[in-house]
Amino acid sequence: MKTTSLHRLGAVAAALLAAGAAGAAPSATSPYRTDAQSTHVEDATSKGISQVNMITCIMTSMRPDALVNQGRYGALVDQKKCDPQARADSGNSGSDSAGANAPAYLNAIVESTRASNADPMRVKSWIDLNEGDFTATIFVNTSATEAPSESNPYGVFRIDYCGRTDGLSSCIMNGYLSGSAGGIEYFETDGDPSDVVTTALRLTKSGSDSGAGALGITEFGVTSGYRFAYNGSLFRRSDGVADQCFSRLADDPDTGMSVWRYGLYDAATGERVVRRSGFPIEFAGAGGRAFQGQIGYHGLWLPPEARSQAVHGATVQRVEYVAGREPTRTPYTLVKSDGRLVKYTRQTRTLASADRIRFNVHVGDATGFYPGALGNRQYEMLWDDASRTFKATGTIECGPSGCQTRDLSSEQTVAVSYFATQGGVRGWSQSLGGELFVPLAGVSSPVDSAAVPVIYRVQDLVYPAQMPATLHCLRECPTAASMQAFFAENSTAASPFVAATFNRWQPAGPEGVVSYTTDASAVLLKDGAGAAVVFTDADALARRPQYPWGVRTGRLFTTLDDARCPEAPSLYCDRKVDELEVYYQWETGPNTWNQFAAVKDAAGSIVTFEAPLQVSYTVPAGAAYGAYAGKSIVLQYGGWGDLWGIPGHCVSRVTNERVSCETPESRYVPAFVIPFDEVQGRVAHGATPYLVKWLDREIRFARKPVSQCTDAGIALPATLSLPTASGLANPSDPASPAFIGAKPASTGAPRVIHGEVKY
């Protein structure tokens, strides 16, 4: 199989034109067999055109191809599913850190028309962009004239776009993308005049499967870029310093692949597995303006201007779609809190079954950890069953831009006795189900790993009627006052927790226990002073990069006797809480996923939503699966396209080869692909089997000696003129031929929600 870089850019035109012209084992007609799969190339040149790839993804997700000549309509597009960095953050996040997996919708108004099958299709789109305090409208004009073909793989199309903020007549972002028989042109300017970034691309076609191109990026007056050329099997690229050659063959054993979206299906019928995780809502804001949103397991989503208006007790309308007619609306009462309580229920596996599966652990005192180790930091580790020891493989360093794993120069041995003195290992692993605890008190070497459990948890959102009346905390226990003190400007406090509980691993006396009460009617946790344990100041949280996703308590438990230390019954041990069948955690912050949100029906009953489905996957044998071959890992399925938990690593954007995550120009990717196969692509929830199918796959070319490209006659273009600003058009300007008109008023309930046509 061969792959063509940028080939999918022409797919927008193909979809539009095709729609304009058209009116026991899973069966051949089941979604498992028929759901479309897409493949795209990821390369160093992709970074330069990430904006246009995102725009084409958004355009496709608005489904103008399905609603041609059906009038103006509204659409919601999940920005995270079109943003490569957001997908990487989701893959590299905790399965219990809902922020990475909660939707972030863009509101759009779309109008798709075509006079006849012989005429171009015209799509006008107005997309709301809201990022914190920044708001803008992206005006997009799309014209598609010819679908891709064997002789013209890109078709004939043009996309012009302009991003404008209120009160400004000029574009803060202005670009175009066009495809023709000659190839692809792309040009964009982004930013204000003092900090503008210019990107230009030209791709020329010299044969049905060969061509050349150039990419240039200018930032702060400095220009960088690439020249490249390709034939049916090879791709050559140079940045003016490094000349590199890659195979274009997807079946090359060194080709890298990663999948960002999977579908989950019933193993017998092949039907999609649907989670009852939320539903669309409509909220009438000030002045009667209707806002479209979503309520679900991950909380409430509404456009930023509506969030402060949608308070506890407000009325929202549930929007239900009925085939062939307008959606129905049913009023519900909003229930909101600035925090939420999550229940963690115990599951177990053996330490032997976790062989070589990586997890993260915080090390306070590094004495006895391994020679040269530093304390008060996070380490990446694994259990090595062959040597019956733990191994440290890297350090995890977090900052304003997120967390990165820095590989150690070699694996460092950590004796079991180091953790045994602490009662066991407390950590987190995406592949082992999230938070984990390995009880090691009294365990000595050599370890019988088949007899030592690894305790992990299934999590569920706690609804008001399920809130325990009292909860207790031994470690990482905040109060309203401790959070206010820590997040105050110029604070010298060490943490947002009560000082004695911060990073406390030792037993505590009765005076060291922090107790809370709950207020079910307000869905709140309250401290000993009766104050709500909430903190929602986004600016203050931003000043503390350790807490970018809010504040979360340590493990909370309902009965003090459950935490008594066996060796000293007058004291309480946090390790005993780890062993409980159920414990809780409270989290608070400014984000929707830090907060509780639900709705009550007319009878006063709260509507509950399904948590992500936890499934187990036995990784197939083979070199493609690396250290995880043959291992059983835990995955989370949040709904269509959202299956996460596959472990990952970092690769270089420049060489496509695996590198340590702190390496410049590195990016995080899933380590392997679940194959589209009824045997090797099978997962299970308990005794219930499901099938997995990849939906969106990236391919990273395999690096080869430069001589392989030169011997094949692939020459880099000596001169290739790049597009310039003279080709720009402004679809928000009435004087421009690309003008699409002023942004229309809301069109009611969205007809499309991220690619799914509702009515």
Q: What is the pLDDT of residues 641-673, one digit of tens each?
A: 889 889 888 999 899 999 888 888 888 899 999
Mean pLDDT, range 673-680, rounded to an integer: 96
Q: What is the number of domains present in the chain?
A: 5
- Strand 688-700 versus strand 38-41 pairing type: parallel
Check whether residue 545 and residue 445 sit in a common domain.
no
Mean pLDDT, range 247-265, rounded to an integer: 93
pLDDT at 4: 42
Non-local CB neighbours of 173 within 8 Å, separated by 6+ positions: 51, 136, 138, 161, 162, 163, 188, 189, 190, 191
- Write the single-letter amino acid at 245: C
Alpha-carbon distances of 322 from 207, 274, 751, rounded to whole Å: 49, 17, 11
pLDDT at 22: 44
Confidence of residue 397 (pLDDT cuts 50, 70, 90): confident
Backbone angles phi, psi at 56, to 5 degrees: -65, -35
pLDDT at 191: 83
Question: Is the per-residue pLDDT at 389 higher than 80?
Answer: yes
Confidence of residue 132 (pLDDT cuts 50, 70, 90): low
Check whether residue 453 and residue 466 sit in a common domain.
no
Residue 477 lies in a domain: yes
- Write the single-letter amino acid at 216: G
Check whether residue 748 and residue 709 sit in a common domain.
yes
Confidence of residue 50 (pLDDT cuts 50, 70, 90): confident
284-317 confidence digits (pLDDT tens): 988 778 888 899 998 898 888 888 899 999 999 9
Question: Is the per-residue pLDDT at 167 higher than 80?
Answer: no
Check whether residue 134 and residue 220 sit in a common domain.
yes
CA 572 centroid distance within chain: 38
For residue 369, how many other CB atoms are within 10 A of its CB?
Answer: 21
Confidence of residue 147 (pLDDT cuts 50, 70, 90): confident
Residue 602 lies in a domain: no
Mean pLDDT, range 479-496, rounded to an integer: 95
pLDDT at 333: 97
Higher pLDDT, 346 or 4: 346
Task: Give me the residues paired with residue 185 across strands.
Answer: 178, 202
Predicted TM-score (pTM) of this structure: 0.82
Confidence of residue 1 (pLDDT cuts 50, 70, 90): very low
What's the order of all strands across the beta sheet hosting 325-337?
299-301, 290-296, 278-284, 315-322, 325-337, 596-600
Choose one of 406, 426, 457: the last residue of a domain.
457
548-599 confidence digits (pLDDT tens): 789 999 999 999 999 999 989 999 999 899 889 999 999 999 988 899 999 9
Question: Is the per-residue pLDDT at 19 higher than 80?
Answer: no
Question: Is the per-residue pLDDT at 100 higher than 70?
Answer: no
Check whether residue 426 and residue 474 sit in a common domain.
no
Question: Is the per-residue pLDDT at 2 higher than 70?
Answer: no
Question: Is the per-residue pLDDT at 21 higher than 50?
Answer: no
pLDDT at 692: 98
Check whether residue 288 and residue 400 sit in a common domain.
no
Question: Is the per-residue pLDDT at 280 higher than 70?
Answer: yes
Residue 635 lies in a domain: yes
Mean pLDDT, range 99-106, rounded to an integer: 69
602-649 confidence digits (pLDDT tens): 999 999 999 899 999 999 999 889 889 999 999 999 888 889 889 888
Percentage with pLDDT > 90 across the chain: 63
pLDDT at 79: 83
Higher pLDDT, 271 or 97: 271
Can you spell out the DSSP letters for 354-400? GBT--EEEEES--TTTSTT--SSEEEEEEEETTTTEEEEEEEEEEET
pLDDT at 96: 41
Alpha-carbon distances of 18 from 65, 68, 145, 187, 389, rounded to whole Å: 8, 11, 11, 27, 59
Residue 599 lies in a domain: no
pLDDT at 17: 46
Question: Is the per-residue pLDDT at 403 higher than 80?
Answer: no
Mean pLDDT, range 363-387, rounded to an integer: 93
pLDDT at 745: 84
Residue 662 lies in a domain: yes
Higher pLDDT, 397 or 421: 421
Check whether residue 407 and residue 466 sit in a common domain.
no
pLDDT at 155: 87
Choose one of 286, 306, 336: the last residue of a domain.
336
pLDDT at 685: 94
Question: Is the per-residue pLDDT at 195 higher than 90?
Answer: no
- Burial tier of 323 (Cβ tally within 10 Å: 0-12, 13-18, 19+): exposed
Spatial distance between the Cα atoms of 370 and 366, rounded to a whole number of angstroms: 7
Residue 601 lies in a domain: no
pLDDT at 15: 45
Check whether residue 399 and residue 283 sit in a common domain.
no
Check whether residue 97 and residue 234 sit in a common domain.
yes
Question: Is the per-residue pLDDT at 99 higher than 60?
Answer: no
Query: What is the maximum span of the chain, computed from C-alpha positions, in angstroms?
Result: 85
Spatial distance between the Cα atoms of 743 and 733, rounded to a whole number of angstroms: 12
Choose one of 651, 682, 700: the last residue of a domain.
700
Question: Is the per-residue pLDDT at 16 higher than 50?
Answer: no
Question: Is the per-residue pLDDT at 23 higher than 60?
Answer: no
pLDDT at 364: 85
pLDDT at 5: 41
Question: Is the per-residue pLDDT at 515 higher than 90?
Answer: yes
pLDDT at 151: 78
pLDDT at 496: 97
Check whether residue 286 and residue 388 sit in a common domain.
no
Taking the CA atoms of 327, 332, 337 and 342 in sequence, report the sign of the dihedral they define.
Answer: negative
What range defines the domain where residue 688 resides? 264-274+612-700
491-506 confidence digits (pLDDT tens): 999 999 999 999 888 8
Residue 291 lies in a domain: yes
Q: What is the mean pLDDT of the chain?
A: 88
433-460 confidence digits (pLDDT tens): 888 999 998 888 899 999 999 999 888 9
pLDDT at 655: 92
pLDDT at 305: 82
59-92 confidence digits (pLDDT tens): 889 999 999 999 999 999 988 778 765 555 544 4
Check whether residue 717 and residue 686 sit in a common domain.
no
Non-local CB neighbours of 420 within 8 Å, separated by 6+ positions: 440, 441, 442, 443, 444
Higher pLDDT, 192 or 191: 191
Check whether residue 411 and residue 479 sit in a common domain.
no
pLDDT at 14: 46
Backbone angles phi, psi at 666, to 5 degrees: -100, 160
Residue 25 lies in a domain: no
